[in-house]
Structure 1
Amino acid sequence: MTPAAERTEVSAAALSVHQWVPAAHKGDAIGDSARRVRDLLRARGHASEIFALTIDDDLRHEVRPFTAPEARRGDVTIFHFALPSPMTAAFATLPGGRVLQYHNITPAHFFADYAPHICRLAMLGRQELATLVGHADLALGDSTYNREELDALGFAPTGVMPIAIDLERITRAPRRPALEKILGDGLINILFVGRIAPNKRIEDHIRLAEHYKRYVDSHYRFIFVGRHDAVPSYYATVRALMEKYQMPADRFWFTGPVPNADLAAFYRHASAYVSLSEHEGFCVPLLEAMAAGVPVLAYGAAAVPETMGGAGVVFTPKDLEFAAEWLGRLIYDDTLRKAIIEGQYARLEAFSDARMQAHLDALLAPFA
């Protein structure tokens, strides 16, 4: 945010502040953030609704269709941009305050060898984003990494407003006894959360497992929670690498999407969280792992070092033997593990509701 955003108290009259998200899916970081922001806005006395082009059935009581006339009647509209959609042209013509929040588009080159249609969609998304230059009163990235992309395109003024995260869905989730019995079978659970996509470099997790098995411990289980059908040819490549290394299939668990209670159980029983992604605009699972008390080992690409904020273990270059050694230390060195977890808990203060309310108050002050 601009300097005004750093103030913790901003007095503003009640406004109608609506949010646009192209697709409302439960468990999606952007949609989850929009609902969190809506609740914080309402708690501040503002009228606030979310409008979407496509809405999951279980969210229809919370999210309204974009065709509703009220979608274009907000005093302020926050448009969450992450892919091309008809919302872009509509946003440019709004009469009220226009706030763009950019959540980043994965660079097209990651998909070139696996999914030409996604590669094309990514290129179109960046082209469409550029059409909004001069048509937003404020352009926000959810990280400085994303803000710098907005600056390079010519947006002004720009700022940073992090994703609003409901960490209680992890910390206060109900127990899952049957799943927890499986996870508590004595193997070391090493967790990753996110879709199986080329930028996440899941193949590097497989290579890391080979180093970990060889130099640290053979009693491991790598767990990948998230969709694995988004880029089928890439998932097939990952599986082929497992066969090449003769990895036992039962030590690699690809769960697909799971409900919040199951996700919390995976975090609860993880000995470490590992991210080897080479492109992240923010990366919510890093903070979820912190909230669950799981030490994080992350490759320092794109916005990852910023999100980590000095917590956990962030490493570069991508030396997987070095990473395997650190992974072993995080799991078995109790003194180090305790210090890392304490540092991670401290980092979460930057994403508290109070901090988020301060961001929102400062954002709305000029429009009041």
Structure 2
Amino acid sequence: MLGCASVRLGQVAIIVQGLFEKSDSIGYDAVFEYKILKKALGESSVRIFAEKFDQSRYPDVKITSIEDFYSEMDSFDVVVYHFCDGWNAFDQFVAERKFKGRAIVRWHNNTPPWFYAPYDVKLAERCVRGFENIRRLAQVEGVEFWVNSQFTARQLVALGGQHEDITVVYPGSRYATRDVPLRVKKQHGDEFRMLFVGRVVAHKGHLHCIALAEKVSQEIGRPVRLDFVGRKDASAGGFNATLEQRQKSVASGVTVNFSGEVTEEDLNNYYNNADVFVCLSEHEGFGLPVFEAMLCGVPVVACTRTAMTELLSWHPLTIPEMDTNVLAKRVASVLDPKTEASIVETQLEIAKQYTLDLISRQMMAGLQGQAGPLLDVPAPLEGREVAKPTFERDALFDFGENYVTTYDIAALRAALEADGNLSERLQSSYASSPLSYVELSPKDFQTIGGTHTPAGIQFPLTKAGGHAVFGPYVRIPNGDYEATFLFKTSTEASNVSASVDIVADGGKVLVARRIKLNEAAVLMKFSIRAEAEIIEFRVRQEDNLVVPVVFTGLRLARDGQIAQLVAPSYYMDVRPNGGLLYSLGFGKRARHNKAREFFKQADSERDSDNYCEAAKLYRKGLELNPMAKAYWVQLGNMLKDTRRPIAAIEAYDRAASLSAPDADLLLQMSMAYEDMGDLESSASCRRASLEQKGQGQSQ
């Protein structure tokens, strides 16, 4: 604990999930700290363990398998765990304190779920789980934290962490270990060059940077090139598609270039070629690329939010809010050589404090139970104008410091687990029939390297770096199951191997097989013994393809009782050939009788103003009798009255598909569209409702 005067260090274990990716800040930081501690404590006092690693990626570091740690864990006095969103098994291991030594969780902050929610609810759900896990760890007595900034420390306190258990330790960087030569600025004719370095994900502000580049081009009357350096998240398909569409519509005179991951030499060239570094990220735990830019002598223009507040609030070219007009003028100011020289000189005074020595002293202070030194940053500038956002009216951007609170976690979890969430779509039916199945669509799955097509997920022709198919994180009851992976392929794929895994929550592999990708159907049996276990299905391509292979879905069967799939649009698509209720011999009269029971219970809950419970019961009845139009309307009303207008519209649309909508249904749809903010659709439905009423009166 940080209140101790001194602590015996002894043997230290550094734990990280992965040490194999080219651009992995968490992995790099773990190795960075390993080298510092090895030098400070002695070669034999520190070891580093990983679940997955590529020794060739770190040839000067002896990496040991995590399995060895489990067998030797009681020999360590200190365990430093580099938290990685998604390693649930080790999170639980730490929470249960299954080892004797001190537990230090190294946390670099997590991305708030709302940045992913507009593009991919599955990624948003993963973010929620990450914050839930961190909050759980923060509640464990004796667990300490090393965080990467004061902002992250405050975020941890917002989740229930205790100040006395938290130490700020800046992240490692190659720029902290050596003198960085100032850029040799190159001329590019009339072209002005802007640069941002960072992962291509929703919260990093790429869309805002494009809007700013267009404004800068207007401001200075010159062509602008905007370079983005950093890898795309292949699983974030929704955001990537939005970004690609925005790139196609960029204004004349502006060029946008995505370079992906680059070598260190190429990165230095990007810094040397840049006229300005722009950072419009809406959530930064530390902001390492900003330090790199300042150390290279590139003027920085940024919004000071999240960790940028403590680093850049003094900076004359930054502003606290997202305003393209003001930011464009800040960028244009670096065209003046005197202004540029002054900015670079001031930046260096701050950035040069970020050294190996500073980080080492922070780490040793944390190990000794003390608070470590921080950057000596000037006070924020006074009298700065208050910006008024001038982005397009429909642009997505956040406001404020983006702390995720326990209220956020509870609300987001409740929303995700409301009806329609994929992880709650598998339920028990009232039928009993051996091995009837439901089908999971390829749209329910994610991919790394592959491509979503109308036919399914097409595997990459060259071997991808990750799983070509993974997901969809479904929660299923205990029992014995059969999963059939379906592929559209040919005999020419007989020489291409793949690994197929079924994995439980926490990374526990339930069953694994190696297959040839010329198999059209791969059946695997597995058992679930824990109630409501979360399951993931994975396919990893092992070799380069010579012909296309497409994953077309997965059939899931439960022995003795069907696992029933409830569609995400709140209605049941009952297909006679789908192995669902109609094909089970569960007769029409029996279904409708059971449906009436649910509808009666739902009406009672509605009359008692229990709208959420009523919605669940209406939905259960509609699963059994999907032709009951009146109850689709009632379901829509319940969803609308519990402020779920999108879901309400889907229910109303289902009712309208059964017969022409009447005036009352159109009026309800109008109100739901109004709640969504779609005033045009709302007005259209209201006009149609009035027309129908008018026709009725004239008859």
TM-score when scaled to structure 2? 0.47
Name the counterpart of 1:288.
292
Is residue 199–residue 232 contact of structure 2 (8 Å, CA) maintained in 1? Answer: yes
Which residue identity is paired with 2:156? L
Is residue 207–residue 246 contact of structure 2 (8 Å, CA) maintained in 1? Answer: yes
Alignment of 1:223-234 (within 5 A): 223-230=227-234, 231-234=236-239
Partners in 2 of 1:58 and 1:13 — Cα distance?
34
The change in CA–CA distance for 1:326 and 1:225 in structure 2 (over 3 A counts) is same
Structure number with greater Rg is 2
Partners in 1 of 2:305 and 2:6 — Cα distance?
38
Name the counterpart of 2:354.
351
SS in 1 for 2:67: coil
Asked whether 1:38 is paired with 2:46, we answer no
Which residue identity is paired with 1:269? N
The change in CA–CA distance for 1:170 and 1:190 in structure 2 (over 3 A counts) is farther
Partners in 1 of 2:329 and 2:113 — Cα distance?
33
With a CA cutoff of 8 Å and minimum separation of 6, indicate the structure with the bigger relative contact order. Answer: 1
Is residue 170–residue 260 contact of structure 1 (8 Å, CA) maintained in 2? Answer: no
Deviates more, 1:317-326 or 1:147-156: 147-156
RMSD across aligned positions (CA): 2.9
Identity of aligned residues (%): 26
Name the counterpart of 2:159.
153
Is residue 108–residue 120 contact of structure 1 (8 Å, CA) maintained in 2? Answer: yes
Name the counterpart of 1:95.
100
The change in CA–CA distance for 1:329 and 1:110 in structure 2 (over 3 A counts) is same
SS in 2 for 1:140: strand
The change in CA–CA distance for 1:12 and 1:354 in structure 2 (over 3 A counts) is farther
Is residue 9–residue 367 contact of structure 2 (8 Å, CA) maintained in 1? Answer: no
Is residue 193–residue 224 contact of structure 1 (8 Å, CA) maintained in 2? Answer: yes
Task: Measure how far apart 1:168 and its partner are.
Answer: 6.1
TM-score when scaled to structure 1? 0.86
Task: Measure how far apart 1:247 and its partner are.
Answer: 4.3
The change in CA–CA distance for 1:299 and 1:309 in structure 2 (over 3 A counts) is closer
Deviates more, 1:273-282 or 1:52-61: 52-61
SS in 2 for 1:189: strand
CA deviations on 1:70-122 (whole Å, 9 max, x unpaired) are 77343211112241312212223221011112111101111012122211110
Is residue 198–residue 234 contact of structure 1 (8 Å, CA) maintained in 2? Answer: yes
Name the counterpart of 2:78.
76
Higher share in helix: 1
Task: Measure how far apart 1:2 and its partner are.
Answer: 6.1
Name the counterpart of 1:222.
226
Which residue identity is paired with 1:143? S
Task: Measure how far apart 1:12 and its partner are.
Answer: 7.4
Partners in 2 of 1:117 and 1:169 — Cα distance?
38
Partners in 2 of 1:263 and 1:3 — Cα distance?
42
SS in 1 for 2:157: helix
Deviates more, 1:355-364 or 1:67-76: 67-76
Q: What residue ranges of structure 1 are gaps of 5+ in the alignment?
A: 5-9
Partners in 1 of 2:346 and 2:6 — Cα distance?
33
Partners in 1 of 2:188 and 2:72 — Cα distance?
51
SS in 1 for 2:199: coil
Aligned partner of 1:164 among 162, 168, 172: 172
SS in 1 for 2:368: helix
Alignment of 1:61-210 (within 5 A): 61=59, 62=61, 63-69=63-69, 72=73, 73-85=75-87, 86-92=89-95, 93=97, 94-132=99-137, 133-156=139-162, 157-167=165-175, 185-186=188-189, 187-210=191-214
CA deviations on 1:208-229 (whole Å, 9 max, x unpaired) are 1111111114232100001124
The change in CA–CA distance for 1:195 and 1:170 in structure 2 (over 3 A counts) is farther
Is residue 147–residue 170 contact of structure 2 (8 Å, CA) maintained in 1? Answer: yes
Partners in 1 of 2:273 and 2:170 — Cα distance?
28
Q: Count residues in correspondence.
A: 354
Alignment of 1:46-57 (within 5 A): 46=42, 47-56=45-54
Deviates more, 1:97-106 or 1:347-356: 347-356
The change in CA–CA distance for 1:166 and 1:142 in structure 2 (over 3 A counts) is same
Is residue 15–residue 81 contact of structure 2 (8 Å, CA) maintained in 1? Answer: yes
